[in-house]
Amino acid sequence: MTAFSLNPEQTAWCAELRALAAERLRPLAEQGRPGHVNRPLVEELGELGLLVRLFEDGTGSGAGALDLCLMRESLAYACTEAETALALQGLGAHPVHAHGTPAQRERWLPPVRAGRAVAAFALSEPGAGSDAAALSLAAAPDGPAGWRLTGEKCWISNAPEADFYTVFARTSPGAGSRGVTAFLVPADRTGLTGAPLDMLSPHPIGTLAFDGVQVGRKDVLGEVDRGFRVAMTTLNRFRPSVGAFAVGMAAAALDASLAHTAARDAFGGKLKDLQSVAHQIAEMATRTEAARLMVYAAAAAYDREGPHGPGIARRAAMAKLLATESAQYVVDAAVQLHGARALHRGHLLEHLYREVRAPRVYEGASEVQRGIIAKELYG
């Protein structure tokens, strides 16, 4: 099998995931409140065994990067809320899985896999979004084996309702990316508060405030002052799958447009009979397929070479860049083809139009991805 094709088992699994998303997950998503963690939805993801597949465990039950992409694309096609709930569990808990101590993994990963504990990835700050290495959340020494965290995090998905946070703080002032440490911080830690943000995307996003929050060696993920590596290896694993999320939305918009233009009467025929419309559909399909292939190639390379393999960061950046930009184009074109009905609150395309914008910003904006690609090429 090449990196650009799926075997029959993978194809059947994608179809099964689409059906599960439509039949079991979408009804739960529709009962949730925008801007809040939908715990029944997260628990159902656990019941279906999908959260277990977020983490490779050496036994064959965990998903590789390609399987993660297939999950996210398939769920996004039928239920973006389910896709995002799954992805945020993975993003928030992957540092614990990959870099945590045995005690940390034993405490938090079983409830994450079961959907009983909600995870969050706390990297961005009011003054350190795209320039993640500029973060300023201070970890001041507090005795021989601890620190106190003081500062803010902003635009954190699942905040302030998560049960624990992977938090990146500055342990060595003035050291740039080399002075950051990753900590596992339970939500009930004294001094940690948060507030929701009213954002365009329907999933929960909020701020976190750290007022002398105490952390110790037992809370460190990985090594002291090496937390930026924890962040970047996590993002390199998940960036292609952000592209897969985008591809799933683009595919849903494309299929809706195919159905609409084939059925809609206009100018003495069907809308699809207009050459300008047919060419637009062809362009949408081509961009969607090109993005899908790049996502699959990046994920397959990650599975083959590992997180530190040659070209992994470049491939991940290319996949996220192309897929998210392409999905924005496809969804926008789909809205244009549908006309005013697509702007009606509750229409599929109105929903996708709100959902598709954020992936071009989070986990590294498109401009950041271009910078990564250029740096890798010149390097």
Q: CA-CA distance, 73 to 244, in Å (whole number)?
A: 5
Render pLDDT for 247-264 as a digit per residue (tens, 0 to 9): 999 999 999 999 999 999
Render pLDDT for 46-83 as a digit per residue (tens, 0 to 9): 999 999 999 865 444 457 899 999 999 999 999 999 99
Domain at 8-118: CATH code: 1.10.540.10
pLDDT band per the 50, 70, 90 thresholds, residue 200: confident
Each domain of the chain, given as residue ranges in start order, spans 8-118, 120-225, 228-378
Domain 120-225: top CATH class:
mainly beta
Q: State the average pLDDT for the chain.
A: 93
pLDDT at 363: 87
pLDDT at 271: 95
User: What is the phi/psi pair of residue 210, to 5°?
Assistant: -110, 115
pLDDT at 61: 45
Domain at 228-378: CATH code: 1.20.140.10
pLDDT band per the 50, 70, 90 thresholds, residue 218: very high
CA-to-CA separations, 323 to 192, 239, 334, 355, in angstroms, rounded: 36, 10, 16, 14
pTM here is 0.92
Q: Please give, one letter per residue, the 3-state secondary structure of 212-223.
A: EEEEEHHHEECC
pLDDT at 62: 55
- Residues with a known catalytic role: 363
